[in-house]
Chains A and B, each alone.
Chain A
Amino acid sequence: MDSLKIIEAILFAANRPLSEEEIAALLIRGGETAGLLFELESLSAEVIRQMMLEYTKRLEETSLQLVSVAGGYRLATREEFAPWISAMFDEAKPPRLSSPALETLAVIAYRQPISRAEIEAVRGVAVGGVLETLVDRAVIRVAGRADVPGRPLIYETTPFFLEHFGLRDLNDLPNVEELKRVKLPDPPILENPQQPELLHESSGHTQEN
């Protein structure tokens, strides 16, 4: 049997993205039942990737596309058909994320796990309420506590974040190389004698007076 057809059937029936490993495992398991021998060694992630490329070509004649999202593959309709599909659904879309929320989310996405104070140092505003919204919308979650004085909560993005923005993984973020490297301003609680924060110095002066 044509393995690509098997994969197509699996993707059609799946209700979430499937990774290369999952697809390989399903080929083997199903093969056992069907009396078709697939060998694990011949189904490396690279082999599956090649098969998916092959399958993408097959889809060219159709209105479907293979998307690579949240660590796996999914079948989806092509963008240009959105008007007709949305005509079918009575969609009450959740409101789009506000621009402060998106800014905060961007800082978290590139620099996770990150504490609230560190985010605030980048954005220059308090982000308490915004963080709550982002947790409610399930795009970020608490990742634990930082190993610094006060043990503040630290935040990370969720798999749903990747799905919501159609990202394969965190390296799929726009301009990721540069933004991962950018040195963040130090949050004000940390003393850093080599590079005195301007905000610090100014508050220090008022205390002296």
Chain B
Amino acid sequence: MLNADLPGWRVSLPVFDGPLDLLLYLIKKEEMNIYDIEVGKITQQYLLHLDMITQTDLEMAGDFLVVAATLLYIKSRTSLPEEESEEGEDPRWELIRQLVEYKKFKDASFELQLREGRREKIYYRETEQQRPTIIPTGLGEVGVFDLVKAFQRILDRAREKEGFREIYEERYTVNDKIQYILDRLDKEETVLFTALFNDVCSRPEIVVTFLALLELVRLKQIKARQSDAFSEIEIYRGPTPTLV
């Protein structure tokens, strides 16, 4: 990645993944200890690069400027006499901490890249058979996105049914529907997701019912589960019904 040392008379600038990446590069180039950055020197170097970057990469320019401002601020604070500077820790500390953390993730990303390379070299058998598998997976609880998908199917079905009809005032509120769902769950232990929409015909009512369902899931009043991949989603009372 670092190609600044290429032979030749043209200065070729390495591409940086961001301001922190540039700082790490400068610290390495100047052979500084990351825990003891010479702010003056690094700021000067940073500003030199900043000029180039703001001219070539407008998208990241703002992020680079933010760090430039931070550097100048730290520099101004470190140049104040000790007594007059504000109380507290070394002004460089926040930035150093951020750099050290960033470096850890950056190193990890190199490691991931190696893994990716190794993975590319092994091959699984290319199975062409498209038999549906019936391996029991124990799907259990379903997430919000499964509910949204199921909801989409209900809406599609409603669209098919929709034709000419009388228009009347919609009188359903989310609160009513929450009450309705809870009432049903008092009588029956589990309710099929689709059963909640059985005698509902208008789209607004479907939507309101679904919003009520989501609200109950959010409040952890109810849970949704599915016994296997293509079976119906069931709604049931969560284990700890505490009203918020």
Given A124-B67, A198-B70, 4 extra CB contacts under 8 A: A77-B122, A78-B122, A124-B18, A175-B104
CA A79 to CA B59, docked complex, whole Å: 40
Q: How far is the CB of A14 from chain B (nearest CB, A)?
A: 8
B171 at the binding interface (Cβ < 8 Å): no
Question: When chains A and B are docked, how far (Å) is the Cα of A107 from the Cα of B112?
Answer: 11
Q: How far is the CB of A169 from chain B (nearest CB, A)?
A: 14
Q: Which residue of A lies closest to B98 (CB)?
A: A185
CB nearest neighbor in B for A141: B145
A103-114 contact mask (Cβ, 8 Å, vs B): 1 or 0: 101110110000
Question: Nearest Cβ in chain A — how far from B72, in angstroms?
Answer: 8
Question: Which range contains the number of A residues in contact with the other chain?
Answer: 35 or more
A129 to chain B, nearest CB (A): 8
Chain A: CB-nearest residue to B62: A126
| C-alpha spacing A164/B1, complex, angstroms | 23
Q: Digitize B1-32: 1 where CB-to-A-CB distance is under 8 Å, 0 elsewhere.
A: 10000000000000001111000000000000
Q: Is the CB of B63 within 8 A of A76?
A: no
A75 touches B138 (CB 8 A): no
For residue A74, give the distance in angstroms from its CB to the closest CB of chain B: 6
**B57-97 residues at the A interface, CB under 8 angstroms:** 59-60, 62-63, 66-67, 69-70, 73-74, 91, 94-95, 97
A136 proximal to B (CB < 8 A): no
Closest to B114 in A: A174
A100 touching B124, Cβ below 8 Å = no
Binding site for A on B (CB under 8 A): 1, 17-20, 59-60, 62-63, 66-67, 69-70, 73-74, 91, 94-95, 97-98, 101-102, 104-113, 115-116, 118-125, 127, 129, 135-138, 143-144
List of A residues within 8 angstroms of B20 by Cβ? 123-125
A124 & B63 in contact (Cβ 8 Å cutoff): yes
Q: Which residues of A contact B107 (CB under 8 A)?
A: 175
Cβ-neighbour of B106 out of A103, A165, A184 (below 8 A) = A103
Enumerate chain A residues within 8 angstroms of B136, measured Cβ to Cβ: 22, 25
Bound: A96/B106 CA distance, A: 16
Assess whether A3 is interfacial by the CB under 8 Å rule: no
- Given A164-B119, A167-B115: A103 in contact with B101 (beta carbons within 8 A): no
Q: Which one, B60, B108, B143, contacts A179 given CB within 8 A? A: B108
Contact residues, A185-201 vs B (CB, 8 A): 185, 195, 197-199, 201
What is the distance, in angstroms, from B141's C-beta to the closest C-beta of chain A? Answer: 14
Contact B123 A85 (CB under 8 A): yes
A162 to B100, CA, bound (A): 26
A122–B102 contact, CB under 8 A? Answer: yes
Question: Does A46 belong to the interface (CB within 8 Å)?
Answer: no
> When the two chains form their complex, are residues A75 and B97 in contact, meaning their CB atoms are under 8 A apart?
no
In this complex, what residue of A is CB-closest to B88? A196
User: Complex: how many Å from CA A18 to CA B199?
Assistant: 42
Closest partner residue, chain B, to A166 (CB atom): B119
Decide if A82 touches B122 in the complex (CB within 8 Å): yes
Given contacts A22-B137, A164-B119, A185-B98, A126 and B125 within 8 Å (CB-CB):
no
Q: Is A198 within 8 A of B94, CB to CB?
A: yes
Q: Does chain B have a CB within 8 A of A68?
A: no
Q: How far, in whole Å, are A196 and B70 apart by their CA atoms in the complex?
A: 13
In the assembled complex, A65 has its CB within 8 A of some CB on chain B: yes
CB–CB B18/A123 < 8 A: yes
Closest partner residue, chain A, to B97 (CB atom): A185
Given the complex, which residues of B lie within 8 Å of A202, measured CB to CB?
69-70, 73
Chain A, residues 86-105, CB within 8 Å of chain B (1/0): the string is 00000001001101101101
B-contact bits for A121-146, CB 8 A (1 contact / 0 none): 01111100000000000000000100
